[in-house]
């Protein structure tokens, strides 16, 4: 996966009637009919399909990601409990295929949050009032946000910065662009030495 260091991008607010959407589940993020593929490419077609598509299959002009201003957004701002529901890893895959590499919300479902980290998406938790304030800043003339993972800050278009917390192990994986397997393979020499000693000290295990 690609390293995440800093990101400068517009942000798309996922709202309903002017309020950040809460309890957005993984079926809303990527409906079940799009889960037949085992590859990650093309999943943006199904991202928020029921929100971005009208009953006749045409694009919903009112959906935020269909609006020209937000089509290239790399940041998504949402409400509490984002990514709840099933554990489908296709949800972060679909976000990535859309070009979204950072999500800002007050809180996440645990499995979705972990899946984001394993796939290179920085999921930031900030208080609801801060998230709402950031969402309000997305509609101005200057709507570029800066996300600095090393310093753990979000800088809004108004110039104010907001500190966020993140597990340091997760942070290092994102900065290096490494998943759990890649981080483990960094110690391949040590693993190889252990296996050599094990084979010599317990040779009977090789016959099992």
CATH class of 6-177: alpha beta
Euclidean distance between CA atoms 73 and 147, whole angstroms: 13
Q: What is the pLDDT of residue 190?
A: 73
Given its phi and psi angles, is residue 23 left (phi above 0), alpha (psi -120 to 50 degrees) or beta? Answer: left
Helix (H/G/I), strand (E/B), else coil: 105: strand
pTM of the model: 0.87
Residue 139 has pLDDT above 90, yes or no: no
Q: What is the pLDDT of residue 49?
A: 96
Whole-number percent of the chain with pLDDT over 90: 74
Contact 114, 99 (CB under 8 A): no
Euclidean distance between CA atoms 59 and 50, whole angstroms: 10
pLDDT tens, position by position, 118-127: 999 999 999 9
Question: Which pair of structure tokens corresponds to residue 26?
Answer: 């993984």
Q: What is the pLDDT of residue 182?
A: 62
Question: Which pair of structure tokens corresponds to residue 202?
Answer: 């317990």
Residue ranges of domains in the chain: 6-177, 178-208
């Amino acid at each position: 996966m690609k390293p995440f260091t800093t990101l400068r991008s517009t942000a798309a607010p996922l709202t309903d009637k002017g309020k950040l959407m809460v309890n957005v589940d993984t079926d809303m993020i990527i409906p079940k009919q799009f889960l037949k593929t085992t590859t990650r490419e093309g999943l943006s077609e199904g991202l928020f399909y029921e929100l971005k598509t009208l009953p006749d299959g045409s694009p919903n002009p009112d959906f935020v990601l269909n609006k020209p201003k937000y089509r290239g957004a790399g940041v998504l701002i949402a409400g509490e409990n984002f990514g709840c529901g099933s554990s489908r890893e296709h949800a972060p895959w679909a976000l990535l295929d859309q070009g979204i590499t950072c999500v800002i919300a007050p809180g996440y479902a645990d499995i979705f949050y972990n899946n984001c980290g394993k796939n290179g998406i920085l999921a930031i938790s900030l208080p609801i009032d801060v998230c709402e304030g950031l969402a309000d800043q997305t509609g101005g003339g200057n709507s570029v946000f800066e996300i600095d993972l090393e310093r753990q800050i979000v800088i809004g278009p108004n110039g104010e910065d907001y500190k966020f917390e993140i597990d340091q192990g997760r942070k290092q994986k994102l900065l290096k662009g490494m998943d759990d397997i890649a981080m483990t393979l960094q110690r391949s020499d040590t693993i190889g030495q252990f296996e050599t000693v094990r084979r010599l000290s317990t040779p009977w295990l090789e016959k099992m």
